[in-house]
């Protein structure tokens, strides 16, 4: 009987993960954070956690612009639709939303539209989702969607070449659904905020997550989701949670999830030399 030796997998990065620069692909700087966490404090929190750059959207967009103007070398802005009385539950019903987003895109260097919530694809919401997809394609920006898989499929039906970040990798979507979606849509990316403790089990990376993250290693990014001030209070802990699961992957993959995929997606350079700068 012939025995064939399988190639050994690369060693995990282990403690080397602590030296990696990080790109946080899910940050909010909402109104409630402005006073307790002024821009200088936010950048200091990023510095202390080893986060060199962040993708930021805020309620309202003025928060994102505050951070961007304070530290343009550290912030990639995206425009969130939420403002005034329009929020997660009703923004798709606003008659002036496309005009608002178009104006914000024209005024500031936003890389995307989002993160926005889509709770279902129905007759009342679908027209707005279609318009958002068309606007993003026309302006050559991505969309950052918090939803189950159906709304993501809907925007791709409208604009097949659209670049999409799937917030929280679908939040509750199992790895097999995420894998199927990424198999179908080559421009679908995902941030992994709120999935850290599913990825890493008691005995290491959960097998279904290891398969998914290895197969589509070019499409995942870490994230913190600072949607509330408690998240800012625990920001370093959130980043430690991300480094904890990253340490189990080989350096090549850990670097992709930590910062290299973001470099490719946003056309930026992420380096530890950015820490302490604006």
pLDDT tens profile 170-193:
999 999 999 999 999 999 999 999
Alpha carbon distance 223, 149 (integer Å) = 19
pLDDT at 89 over 60: yes
DSSP state of 42: H
Alpha carbon distance 135, 128 (integer Å) = 10
Peptide bond before residue 60 is cis, with ω within 30 degrees of 0: yes
Cα-only R_g, the chain: 19
Q: How far apart are the first and last CA of the chain?
A: 63
DSSP state of 81: -
Query: What percent of the chain clears pLDDT 70, i.e. is strictly above it?
Result: 96
For 225-243, what is each residue's pLDDT tens digit? 999 999 999 999 999 999 9
CB 104 within 8 A of CB 80: no
Alpha carbon distance 95, 128 (integer Å) = 9
Q: What is the pLDDT of residue 9?
A: 64
Alpha carbon distance 29, 34 (integer Å) = 7
pTM: 0.95
Q: How confident is the model at residue 124 (pLDDT cuts 50, 70, 90)?
A: confident
Alpha carbon distance 220, 252 (integer Å) = 13
Instruction: Judge: domain 16-274, CATH 3.20.20.140.
Output: yes
């Amino acid at each position: 009987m012939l025995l064939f030796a399988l190639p050994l997998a690369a060693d995990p990065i282990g403690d080397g993960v602590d030296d990696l620069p990080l790109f946080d692909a899910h940050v909010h700087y909402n109104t409630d954070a402005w006073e307790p966490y002024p821009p200088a404090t936010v950048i200091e929190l990023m510095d202390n956690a080893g986060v060199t750059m962040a993708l930021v959207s805020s309620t309202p967009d003025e928060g994102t612009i505050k951070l961007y103007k304070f530290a343009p070398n550290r912030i990639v802005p995206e425009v969130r639709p939420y403002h005034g009385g329009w929020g997660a539950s009703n923004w798709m019903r606003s008659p002036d939303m496309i005009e608002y987003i178009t104006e914000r895109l024209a005024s500031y260097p936003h890389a995307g539209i989002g993160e926005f919530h889509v709770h279902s694809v129905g007759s009342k919401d679908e027209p707005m989702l279609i318009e958002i997809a068309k606007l993003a394609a026309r302006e050559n920006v991505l969309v950052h969607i918090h939803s189950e898989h159906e709304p993501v499929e809907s925007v791709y039906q409208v604009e097949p070449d659209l670049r999409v970040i799937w917030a929280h990798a679908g939040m509750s979507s199992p790895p097999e659904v995420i894998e199927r979606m990424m198999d179908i849509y080559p421009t679908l990316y995902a941030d992994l905020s709120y999935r850290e403790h599913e990825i890493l089990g008691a005995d290491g990376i959960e097998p279904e997550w290891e398969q998914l993250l290895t197969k589509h290693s070019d499409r995942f990014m870490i994230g913190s989701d600072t949607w509330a001030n408690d998240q800012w209070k625990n920001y370093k802990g959130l980043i430690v949670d991300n480094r904890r699961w990253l340490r189990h992957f080989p350096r090549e993959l850990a670097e992709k999830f930590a910062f290299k995929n973001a470099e490719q997606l946003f056309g930026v350079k992420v380096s530890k030399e950015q820490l302490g700068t604006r």
